[in-house]
Amino acid sequence: MTFPQDSTSEDLRKQIDALRDLIEVAKTVVSTLDLDTLLQAIMVSAMQYAETPAGSVALYDTRNKELSLHVHRGLSSEFIQVERWNVTPGGLTEQILNSGETFIVSDTHNSPFFHNPLAVKEGIRSLICVPLVFQDEIVGILYLDDFVPRNFDRGRLELLSILASFAALAIHNARLHNKTKLMAITDYLTGLHNHRYFQQIFNQELGRARRYQKVMSLVILDVDNFKSFNDRFGHAIGDKVLVAIGDIITRSLRKVDFAFRYGGEEFVIILPETSLEHAVLTADRLRERIAREAGPSVEEAEGISITVSAGVASYPDDGTNREDLFALMDSYLYKAKTIGKNIVCHSLESP
């Protein structure tokens, strides 16, 4: 003969099971430094706890007051097209950021703070918004969505709060790790990639070009008369010029391109899947933009002519290895320097 299980015992068993699950999730979350992996684990676990069909995690940029969508599930492609958004004054997100507390909407049709037209169109009728807080700073928001009005279980919300604490710590650690990695490959002055990282990326991109039989081009830029400029104005002003040139390069390239401060006043750019012809056009646009903008952007150098000379070489036509490509690129740069400077050269016959 079996006896019916006491409801209190059943509730206790469920709580113990939930806590065990939470411990396993916490182990996963704090054991990885890969941001996307841990955000995915956070979101999936939270959706299971809350029993919602959709969810997402957005990270918060305190400086720009902007949220960026990183992981999502159960939402339409139209809804997730908006990957970044600013905080709307008086809106739900602002309420969450100001209070730092979990916000629950049982029915979006009856909420005075819910004004998101995309969410309305998506059919979201109830949701939980959990701020991810580390040391009194909100690092992101976890959204759990349902497409019907509902009341959420308070016990599950408590577990979500614990999960959110683990998540915020893990996000902080992952960001710190990424920042440390970035510092190791970044030139401290210009913010471009450094010479050390160039070795890695060049081998990677050259290997990819060989493997898929793609073209790849290289550009080397050298600031004209930079030693004389430094002697006249001092190294502090010279550094400002290098920073300005680095900023112009960053703003002028595609996302798939790589820019490096190669050393001193030299910059190297890797242009994947770019022919020599298009690389020359890119280099010439950079040359013109630097001549137009670099001087005025540095107050102490305003009115001073700041120009660069450039050499351009392309794989595979100009060479199939680093030594050949760099030898040609350097010879083209030398020619640009000797025939008048502020010039882009890509052959020894003509500029």
- Kindly report, residue by residue over 202-258, the tens digit of the pLDDT: 999 999 999 999 999 999 999 999 999 999 899 999 999 999 999 999 999 998 999
Dig out the tokens for 88 from the structure. 């709307």
- Chain centroid to Cα 337, Å, comes to 37
Domains, the chain, with CATH or none: 7-180 (3.30.450.40), 195-345 (3.30.70.270)
Question: How far apart are alpha carbons 337 and 315 in whole angstroms?
Answer: 23
Res 75 pLDDT > 70:
yes
- What is the tens place of the pLDDT at every residue in 333-349? 999 999 989 999 998 66
* CA separation for the pair 130, 138 (Å, rounded): 10
CA max distance for the chain: 102
pTM across the whole model: 0.61
Rounded to 5°, angle at Cα 283 from 277 and 288? 125
Name residue 104's amino acid: I
For residue 127, report the phi and psi dihedrals to the nearest 5 degrees: -160, 160
- As a dihedral over the C-alpha atoms of residue 76, residue 81, residue 83, residue 86, rounded to 10 degrees, the angle is -100
125 vs 147: CA distance, rounded Å: 5
Give 157 or 226, the one with higher predicted confidence.
226
Most confident of 7-11, 99-103, 164-168, 227-231: 227-231
pLDDT of amino acid 3: 44
* Residue 200 Cα distances to 193, 258, 326, angstroms: 11, 12, 16
Q: What is the mean pLDDT of residues 55-71?
A: 88
Give CA–CA dist 89/340, Å, rounded.
56
